[in-house]
A and B are shown apart, each in its own frame.
Chain A
Amino acid sequence: MSQSPSPKPTNPETTMNPEIKRGSYAKEKGEVILREHEFDGIQEFDQKLPNWWLFTFYGGIVWFVGYWVLYYYTGIYQTDQKGIEQQLAAIQEKKDQELAATLATLDDQTLVAKWAADPSIVAAGATTYGTNCAACHAADLSATLEAGGNKVPLPGRPLNDGHWEYGGKPMEIFKLINEGTPAASAGYNGARMQAWGQVLSPKQVAELTAYLISMNPKDFGN
């Protein structure tokens, strides 16, 4: 019914908008076709599909076939898993180098004398401490929380009581932060600290160490 020209003119009573030319007329003149049938007064043109739209439509299909073929048959793509493992291995290698480089410049003496003595380093360490450490060790290093007038203990160890469970040398503290609670230890009341070296760079760990040193001058004083 749609494209076959109707032999007789359409009923003008059903015309919704009289100036629009109707099916057969339009077809003869090569103009836009208005379908004769109407639904509750709604009519439909039968415009050709815009070329750019068709291009998008076909383009999507061609892209689909092309991409699938490229991915599965050419071998130029890695799996996600393979790709990510390579990238992470490269990062790990770089990280190990970075740590080695940092460690090469660090010793107990430098941490105390140079790092902990530099206010900008200590300030950077304090910032890192506030973001990552204060939750368990408290902002004032006491590892307690003020709740309703009571001091409620937090999961971490106090860092201001002069007791350094895993060794009180600056480099031991660096190592502890970097690697977390040693595997052999049962932790503090079962609580274990994560390996912050995963989250923080060696420099940041060193800054943190410097911050702790500066906050406990008695423990590290010469």
Chain B
Amino acid sequence: MNASTARTTTITYDNRTVRQFMIASIAWGIVGMLVGVICATQLSTWEMNGHLWGFLEKITGGAFKADGVAYLTFGRLRPLHTNAVIFAFVGNMAFAGIYYSTQRLCKVRTASDLLSKIHMWGWQLIILAAAITLPAGLTRGKEYAELIWPINIAVALVWVIFGINFFWTLAKRNEPSLYVALWFYIATIVTVTMLYVVNHLSIPTSWTHSYPIFGGLQDGLVQWWYGHNAVAFFLTTPILGIMYYFLPKAANRPVYSYRLSIIHFWSLVFIYIWAGPHHLLNTSLPRWLQMLGMLFSLMLWAPSWGGMLNGLLTLRGAWAKLRSDPVIKFFAAAITFYGMATFEGPLLSIRAVNAISHYTDWTIGHVHAGALGWNGFMAAGMFYWLAPRLWKTQLWSTSWANMHFWIGLVGILLYVAAMWTAGITQGLMLGQVAEGGTTLKYEFVETLKAIQPTYVLRSVGGSFYLAGFVMCAVNIFMTARSGQATDDTVEVTVPERDHDRLRLGEVIFRKPVGYTLLGLLMMVLWFFLPKGADIAALVCALLVVAKAVSTFKREGLAWDRWHDGLLKNYLPFTILTFVAVAIGGSVQIVPSLLVNREKNVEGRLQDLYTPLELAGRDLYVSEGCYNCHSQMIRTLVPDVMRYGRAGMKDDYSHLGESLYDHPYQWGSKRTGPDLAREGGPLVTGSTEVRAGKRDNKWHWFHFMNPRWANDDSNMPCYPWLYEQKTDFKSLPEKIAVQRRLGVPFPAWTKDEIEQKARDQGMAIARSLFEGDAPVGYEPMKNASKDELLRHFSESQVVALIAYVQKLGTYHEIDKKAIPEAVPLDPDSYRKITEHAREVEQAASPSTTDGS
């Protein structure tokens, strides 16, 4: 365009919203990290749940209990930590960066100040609500998706408002072409909407409680499709966008490679989505999904490193600034950590590595390399760059910023090294067999004891990091005080309008899209088509790739122009981005929703919970037990030896054992042992009392004080379970909702449900207080046996015991009843599955069938 004939206009950028988000990010960041440090100390010193703070009991007249405060137990605080850090700290930071850079990259003020305000204050209210509900034990029980359903709706609304505001700004832009940062913002908004909505689909049972509509395997798949891509599209893509804006700004250098931006953007957003199942490797997840999860994670390595390269190599020619400019220091270190974490991710996705790392602290170390290194340092770099510009002044203290960098870096290194050591040590110890090779060498608690020193080290590292971040807060505060909050006003050229004119068809019915979609279609057919046809599809896919490559060699320039044209048309770009991110999830999840449900029980079907057991299960979820206990015996020898029943060689978890679990509780970390086989059969002569691995009294003493069972346990005491009553009244509604979700509960009346729960509670209480050796209860020392029975038959601890004794119980179902080879299940008709083999043998007894 010709500048001399162009109109110009004056724009005042909205810096206020940016400042607000930035301040919010810093404030919540400190809260989130502080909660993280408390959680970390609880793992080595369980008393950090309030037990150590006995003086509080005196001060508050007993409102705080010296036995530990329910609101401060690890199971409730850990979700608060993760939510605060992800959604409050990084979320607000990303919003600050997006609001700042989008206006400048579009040369237009954010479309609506009102929407900006609603977004900003709405988000803070949501976080506040989370900070209240999570410690109160109100949770959905799915990681990073714990918030209860009314808050979910608020999140969705605020997010949509953010989206409208953002796309409206794009529509009004005075810059025809979209810069790479904006591509990443678009991918963020579109994908997070999709993930969040699907993973939060639930049916409420009350204002504070709901059940997810998915159960068992389906819930696990959806959860990690979401959970993994929350990392991808909430913690990675917006921050990559921020990197693409703030890094070249701070370094005053051009971005390393435009074409690398294109390749790594599209490959990243497409491949990332597929990698979710790597969170469920070696579990009872069907093998084809594990294969996809692992292999796509390996393919993700290069696209991730594309972002790292474009970051680090942009610094070429600006490395000298590393010495003088804390912003560059933070950015360079952050991108390095990004590279490290995205190399480690594929590594941990290899099934053999995952066998050791999964359920251990290695995973925790991995995510913190990303969260502290990549997110936290990108945030700090951006804050130090922004603050002087937002308040029109100099940074208050460069040396404080430098100090923040070094103390933070040491903190991360301590943290990550400690967690690597802890994870690998524990992973190896858990798999080590004793002399003779027939039993395991270590009890679970011995492995926990062995990693205690690293837990202490981790707390130290985390505290360092927090201290550095507090220095950042002080620095930004002092900077703001020394300056004056100002909005930037600039003169911009209004381009002649030739952007956003392209019709959708002109974008989609073009060779680059055509070849890509055709190739992907062939790939998906290769996964799903029956034997013979799948190979044909693979050959077709390879032919499409070959044809596409040769066409590109010939018409590369035209493809290039096509992509440039796409960048001037934000809606088609957004639609193509959505297509790219929607494919992976659809291919992985839809088959399990449509077809495979009945097949996926593997010969074992979960026994239904009784009303009391369901109430106990809700307590298990509410207390956040899943944060430390898995319910999944993996298909690994040490897992089956440790957690399976004696003499049963196929006692790994089968899919049908959790078919009716809404939400699924396979867990992601074992700070305590697996509980999949904790339950057991009814005791002789009873229809209500069960005895699993341990009997009711064992659990009674253990919930009261886990150190009773073993000195080295770090599980908190749960004294409040003995005081508080189980909520029987909500059970009819809960069971009604479960019935709607397809759990085959009988059509009990409300009274029946309550009566059943009370009867079972009484039976379990009797098993505790009757017989030769009744348990005691110190706070009710003078109560009669009847009083004790009355109290405890309604108590939470009895409901929880009922649940724990039911864990993993199932009945065998006839394997012949399993439907034969199922479409949309790549395992079922390939030779590798025994079932398929059996079916095949049954179908073709003669040898004439070839192969």
Query: Interface 1/0s, chain B 93-123, versus A by CB < 8 A?
Result: 0000000010011010000000000000000
Query: Interface 1/0s, chain B 433-475, versus A by CB < 8 A?
Result: 0111111100101100000000000000000000000000000
- Across the interface, do A42 and B254 meet the contact criterion of CB distance under 8 Å? yes
Contact partner, B650, options A85, A131, A132, A200, Cβ 8 Å: A85
Question: B12 interface residue, CB < 8 Å from A?
Answer: no
Contact partner, B254, options A16, A79, A180, A194, Cβ 8 Å: A16
Smallest beta-carbon distance A173→chain B, Å = 18
Residue of A nearest to B635 (CB): A80
Question: A187 interface residue, CB < 8 Å from B?
Answer: yes
- Residues of chain B lying within 8 A (CB to CB) of residue A204: 439
- Across the interface, do A189 and B832 meet the contact criterion of CB distance under 8 Å? no
- Across the interface, do B683 and A57 meet the contact criterion of CB distance under 8 Å? no
Query: Interface 1/0s, chain A 141-172, versus B by CB < 8 A?
Result: 00101011010111100000000000000000
Which one of B38-46, B372-380, B583-591, B767-775 contacts A?
A: B767-775
Residue of A nearest to B351 (CB): A80
- Across the interface, do A152 and B775 meet the contact criterion of CB distance under 8 Å? yes
Question: A50 interface residue, CB < 8 Å from B?
Answer: yes
Complexed CA–CA distance, A72 and B834 (Å): 13
Complexed CA–CA distance, A78 and B832 (Å): 7
Which one of A62-70, A110-118, A207-215 contacts B?
A: A62-70
Question: A95 interface residue, CB < 8 Å from B?
Answer: yes
Which one of B138-146, B293-301, B722-730 contacts A?
A: B293-301
- Residues of chain A lying within 8 A (CB to CB) of residue B594: none
CB proximity to B under 8 Å, residues A71-103: 71-73, 75, 77-85, 87-89, 91-92, 94-95, 98
- Across the interface, do A79 and B832 meet the contact criterion of CB distance under 8 Å? yes
- Across the interface, do B254 and A20 meet the contact criterion of CB distance under 8 Å? yes
Smallest beta-carbon distance A171→chain B, Å = 20
Question: B253 interface residue, CB < 8 Å from A?
Answer: yes
Query: Interface 1/0s, chain B 637-656, versus A by CB < 8 A?
Result: 10011000111011010000
- Residues of chain B lying within 8 A (CB to CB) of residue A43: 248, 254-255
> What's the tally of chain B residues with a CB closer than 8 Å to chain A?
98
Which one of B228-236, B659-667, B691-699 contacts A?
A: B691-699
Smallest beta-carbon distance B831→chain A, Å = 6
- Residues of chain A lying within 8 A (CB to CB) of residue B291: 67-68, 71
- Across the interface, do B832 and A44 meet the contact criterion of CB distance under 8 Å? no
Query: Interface 1/0s, chain A 39-58, versus B by CB < 8 A?
Result: 11111111111100110110
CB proximity to B under 8 Å, residues A173-222: 180, 186-192, 194-195, 197-201, 203-204
Which one of B19-27, B213-221, B257-265, B389-397 contacts A?
A: B257-265
Interface centre among B255, B538, B686 (most CB of A within 10 A): B255
Smallest beta-carbon distance B604→chain A, Å = 12
- Across the interface, do B710 and A190 meet the contact criterion of CB distance under 8 Å? no
- Across the interface, do A190 and B767 meet the contact criterion of CB distance under 8 Å? yes
The interface size bin for chain A is 35 or more
Contact partner, B439, options A35, A63, A201, Cβ 8 Å: A201
- Across the interface, do A88 and B710 meet the contact criterion of CB distance under 8 Å? no
- Residues of chain B lying within 8 A (CB to CB) of residue A47: 256-257, 259-260, 313
Given A3-B560, A50-B309, A191-B691, are A57 and B267 also a contact pair (CB < 8 Å)? yes
Contact partner, A145, options B695, B708, B710, Cβ 8 Å: B708
- Residues of chain B lying within 8 A (CB to CB) of residue A135: 698, 701-702, 708-710
- Across the interface, do A77 and B832 meet the contact criterion of CB distance under 8 Å? yes
Interface centre among A43, A48, A143, A152 (most CB of B within 10 A): A152
Given A189-B773, A190-B696, A190-B771, are A200 and B439 also a contact pair (CB < 8 Å)? yes
CB proximity to A under 8 Å, residues B318-372: none
Contact partner, B773, options A64, A67, A147, A153, Cβ 8 Å: A153
Smallest beta-carbon distance A152→chain B, Å = 4
Question: A34 interface residue, CB < 8 Å from B?
Answer: yes
Residue of B nearest to A192 (CB): B691
Question: B187 interface residue, CB < 8 Å from A?
Answer: no
- Across the interface, do A60 and B646 meet the contact criterion of CB distance under 8 Å? no
Question: A17 interface residue, CB < 8 Å from B?
Answer: yes
Total A-B contacts with CB atoms under 8 angstroms apart:
241
Question: A61 interface residue, CB < 8 Å from B?
Answer: yes
Query: Interface 1/0s, chain B 551-569, versus A by CB < 8 A?
Result: 0000001001100100000
- Residues of chain B lying within 8 A (CB to CB) of residue A153: 772-775
Question: B684 interface residue, CB < 8 Å from A?
Answer: yes
Complexed CA–CA distance, A116 and B618 (Å): 49
Given A11-B3, A57-B303, A60-B301, are A45 and B708 also a contact pair (CB < 8 Å)? no
Given A39-B175, A44-B255, A80-B287, are A91 and B437 also a contact pair (CB < 8 Å)? yes
Question: A4 interface residue, CB < 8 Å from B?
Answer: yes
Complexed CA–CA distance, A1 and B176 (Å): 13
Complexed CA–CA distance, A129 and B710 (Å): 12
Contact partner, B695, options A16, A60, A69, A155, Cβ 8 Å: A155
- Across the interface, do A136 and B698 meet the contact criterion of CB distance under 8 Å? yes
Contact partner, B778, options A147, A189, A191, Cβ 8 Å: A147
Contact partner, A17, options B253, B258, B701, B772, Cβ 8 Å: B253
Contact partner, B257, options A1, A49, A87, Cβ 8 Å: A49
Question: B850 interface residue, CB < 8 Å from A?
Answer: no
Question: B226 interface residue, CB < 8 Å from A?
Answer: no
By a beta-carbon cutoff of 8 Å, the part of chain A in contact with chain B is 1-4, 11, 16-17, 20, 34-35, 37, 39-50, 53-54, 56-57, 59-61, 63-65, 67-69, 71-73, 75, 77-85, 87-89, 91-92, 94-95, 98, 131-132, 135-136, 143, 145, 147-148, 150, 152-155, 180, 186-192, 194-195, 197-201, 203-204
What are the 8 A-B residue pairs with the smallest beta carbon separation, nearest first? A153-B773, A57-B302, A189-B771, A191-B695, A80-B635, A198-B646, A60-B299, A88-B649
A-B residue pairs in contact (CB < 8 Å), sample of 5: A46-B257, A57-B267, A81-B650, A186-B683, A189-B773
Given known contacts A57-B302, A198-B647, what 18 new A-B pairs fall within 8 Å (CB)? A17-B254, A40-B107, A44-B261, A49-B257, A53-B260, A72-B831, A77-B832, A81-B650, A84-B640, A84-B652, A131-B446, A135-B701, A135-B708, A136-B698, A186-B683, A187-B684, A188-B773, A190-B696
